[in-house]
Structure 1
Amino acid sequence: MKIPQLAGTLLIAFTSIALFANCSSDSKKGDNKTKTSVNASGDSTEVTSADTTRHPIDTAKYNAALKKIANGDTTGKWPVKNQPYPLAGAILPFKRIVVYYGNLHSKKMGALGEYPPKEMWSRLNAEVKKWEKVDPSTPVQPGVHYIAAVASGTPGKDGKYINRMGNNQIDSVIAIAKMHNGIVFLDLQVALSNIKDELPRIEKYLMMPQVHLGIDPEFSMKSGARPGTKIGTYDAADINYCSQYLVNLVKKYKLPPKVFTVHRFTKKMVTNYQNIKLHPEVQIVMHMDGWGEPDLKIGTYRYFIQREPVQFTGFKLFYKNDIKKAPHRMMTPEELMKLKPAPIYIQYQ
């Protein structure tokens, strides 16, 4: 079984960060205003208030859904044992999340920034229909996954090699998501900064019920290396810090559970996975972020996602990078549904 090639991964990473070497971000601080948006179930709601009379989840339905996505796994790892039931309003595993990934500044970082909003949604909705067809018993929750902090090719004023997107860009993404009742993921590439310093910068958005979190260990450069020259890392302690941060927000603002995605395509990107803590307020997705031909992607998923279970799994599909080598095609929903476990979060770049 082939393991992802480091050189190819770093080449793509460096290409991405180079696009932002001279890109300035808007550092204006926005006000916490009441906004009409969508909640985790896709219903219109006011962000500043939350339903405190929510009914608990149907545990039997939850257990059945976990068993379904385990997909006949015989390793004993799936479904993950002794995980807590989520609070009311949980998206997973009742729905499959299907998102477009990218940044509004770049057409090369993903479909989210490559197309105008209407065209982007037309393309994403076409993917949603494919998933509804292959798994009609699992509704699809569409959304957008926005890189809110981008690892940069230059050090910047603070020397952290990070380009933080301004509130106006994030507001635009939230408005784009709202066009089709989509949820939003804000993704952080902390570079030479750290997750503790970067999370507060997007807290006002994480307070919204439809906004969730993603972190990318690839660009967590604890070694001090420049982003794109090496693959970074997060430990379970970092992931637990993020989870507890989200737990506190969910409790304080009476929010539905947050979905928390962690990118991964190598073993060292996430260390001490067995120490990752689970909470009713947070749903963790270990997201297979590697690109390449189908056999390579399946191997990556098996080695670094299936064998080191946390809670839920995700899978990324690349419109361009996945077709570079024979058989020059992307994997299909039908193929992904055969994986054990079947991914419940799908990301297109």
Structure 2
Amino acid sequence: MWSKLSRRHHLLLAGGVLALVLVLVAAWSLIGDTATARSTQVEPVSVAYAAPNEPQSVTVSRALFASSPSAVLVRDDAAPDVVTRGIEAAGTHHVPLLTVGPSSVEPVRRELERLGARTVAAVEPSSIPDVGVTVGDLQTVADQPAPVVDPTLVLVAERTDPDEVPTPAVEAAARVAAQEAAGTATAAGATGIVVSRPDPRASGQAIDFIKRHPSARVVGIGGEFGTTALLAANLDAARQAPELPGGGYTLFPGRRMVALYGSPGAPSLGPLGRQSLPATVARAQRLAASYQPFSKEKVIPAFEIIVTVASASPGPGNSYTNVIDPKEILPWVIEAGKSGIYVTLDLQPGRVDFLTQAKLFTALLKYPHVGLALDPEWRLKPNQVHLTQIGSVAAAEVNRVSDWLAALVRDNHLPQKLFVLHQFDSDMLANRDRISTAHPELQFMVHADGHGTPPVKMSTWNRLITGLSPDYAMGWKNFYTEDHPPFSPQQTMAVKPTPWFVSYQ
């Protein structure tokens, strides 16, 4: 789903600034008398913003075709086989494929006029609304010469209405619409790639293209890609970013994670600290493998390492927290990286603020496979003590940490980083709706830490997901001794929405 930043861009750019930004996708010349438009003097990176009610395929056509004597139309609710045949026809004849429905007749009509299309065809001509041009069958498509162009990448995000409930049907329709737009890009001689979110790092295929063609032209289709500067920054990060465990450059939906929780050498804190490092690696790998039969996504092992531990005594500075030397954690981070294991560093800061503690582990967080978790249960106010009060954290403090962590990702050209917020009580994340998720560098997650009987755990889960922004992924915790009975891997994966991150304590 889009980030809040992306939605703001989408709403803003659909308005009065449209005329200005469309300049970014202009300046094309023709090959021959009737050939597909090709770039002459264009920006190496640009965003093609959509007009109101404009299908993505029309936005692509306007960006890549100066003119075309013909076009193929597909109704926006066409069956998959019809869509496939339309994409194939457009690609064979090198003409635009335009998606049309009752609400998009005018944008399609305007695009046909701009193209100067003299013949328009469809797989099912009778299903196409009146677009001002007679629609024939595919035999009427005018063939064009194959375009010869420099490498061009067109990124199309799966666009859904942010106000619409993201049901499977809605998400499937968004994927089809994006595939149609990518088909138009391919017909123009570009490489069209659909990404699950408006970030080139969301697709390993896109990253491979960018790395193989570092000087290629790149066009993001739609305002959800943000400004040209933002897209250019994401491309720069993608060119330099190492891959995550399991492949790719963004975390979800490309994988799920199953983690051992705890601290090295501290058996009482969780299963991670109950055996040696090599044995912990093997245990995490076995645990992740037990989930694979129940996930269509790749399941990778993970560590969630408590690196600052809540203390019952005041300790240095009256802080009620013990900081583990990052040098003691480093071997675990290095071995995890070698073994394809993702690591999340967990903070239990006592009376210290989260950002101060996070900065102590800057060197570890520069590793591409290391994320950060905040545990508000253990964030005390000045006069509180652990196990007497349940801690909490204000949205402003969380935002300061996410701002800093996102900058660390950008400055060090890292792949997307996991940013976890633990929660089992509503007061633990004060004013949760004020927490900003406007950092595509981070994958925000709410991790449900409730324990007890299955009904109690599900009650906690349902309470936490109520009103939660779709910008968050969900995490789940299983307790070996405090759940009665513990959930099996199959039962855990049957929870809805299915958690992307499962930890064991």
TM range (shorter): 0.7 to 0.9
Shift in alpha-carbon separation, 1:129–1:113, aligned structure 2, 3 A: same
Over the aligned positions, Cα root-mean-square deviation in angstroms equals 2.6
Equivalent in the alignment of 1:155: 314
Radius of gyration: which is bigger?
A: 2
Tell me which of 290, 294, 316 is aligned to 2:477: 316
Cα deviation code 1:263-299 (max 9, x no counterpart): 1000100121112212110101100011111111111
Contact 2:419 2:442 in 1 (8 A): yes
1:252-263 map, 5 Å: 252-263=411-422
Cα deviation code 1:124-158 (max 9, x no counterpart): 222212211011x2011222110111111111121
Shift in alpha-carbon separation, 1:84–1:241, aligned structure 2, 3 A: farther
Q: Is the deviation greater in 250-259 or in 171-180?
A: 171-180
Instruction: After TM superposition, give the deviation of residue 121 of structure 1 in Å.
Output: 2.7
User: Does residue 284 of the first structure (1) align with residue 444 of the second (2)?
Assistant: yes
Instruction: After TM superposition, give the deviation of residue 221 of structure 1 in Å.
Output: 0.4
Contact 2:277 2:332 in 1 (8 A): no
Shift in alpha-carbon separation, 1:108–1:280, aligned structure 2, 3 A: same
Counterpart of 2:368 in structure 1: which amino acid?
Answer: P
Comparing both chains, which one has the higher relative contact order based on Cα–Cα distances under 8 Å and sequence gaps of 6 or more? 1
- Which structure is higher in helix share? 2
Identical counterparts, % of pairs? 28
Equivalent in the alignment of 1:300: 460
Equivalent in the alignment of 2:114: none
Instruction: After TM superposition, give the deviation of residue 167 of structure 1 in Å.
Output: 2.1
Structure 1 Cα separation of the partners of residues 401 and 323 of structure 2: 18
User: Does residue 209 of the first structure (1) align with residue 365 of the second (2)?
Assistant: no
Tell me which of 251, 254, 275 is aligned to 1:115: 275
Uncovered stretches (5+) of structure 2, i.e. residues with no partner:
1-152, 171-195, 202-248
Counterpart of 1:104 in structure 2: which amino acid?
Answer: P
Instruction: After TM superposition, give the deviation of residue 179 of structure 1 in Å.
Output: 4.8
Uncovered stretches (5+) of structure 1, i.e. residues with no partner:
1-54, 75-82, 324-328
Equivalent in the alignment of 1:265: 424
Contact 2:285 2:300 in 1 (8 A): no
Shift in alpha-carbon separation, 1:93–1:223, aligned structure 2, 3 A: farther
Equivalent in the alignment of 2:486: 330
Structure 2 Cα separation of the partners of residues 130 and 305 of structure 1: 26
Please give the TM-score of this superposition, normalised by the length of structure 1: 0.73
Cα deviation code 1:177-207 (max 9, x no counterpart): 2352212111111101111321211111111
Shift in alpha-carbon separation, 1:71–1:290, aligned structure 2, 3 A: farther
Cα deviation code 1:42-84 (max 9, x no counterpart): xxxxxxxxxxxxx998744x98xxx9xx78699xxxxxxxx97
Shift in alpha-carbon separation, 1:72–1:218, aligned structure 2, 3 A: farther
Shift in alpha-carbon separation, 1:230–1:57, aligned structure 2, 3 A: farther
Structure 2 Cα separation of the partners of residues 57 and 98 of structure 1: 31
Shift in alpha-carbon separation, 1:190–1:85, aligned structure 2, 3 A: farther
Equivalent in the alignment of 2:13: none
Matched pairs, number: 275
Counterpart of 1:322 in structure 2: which amino acid?
Answer: D
Cα deviation code 1:74-130 (max 9, x no counterpart): 9xxxxxxxx974561111121101111101131011111012223323332222122
Equivalent in the alignment of 1:170: 329
Equivalent in the alignment of 1:249: 408
Structure 2 Cα separation of the partners of residues 259 and 57 of structure 1: 24
Contact 1:188 1:214 in 2 (8 A): yes
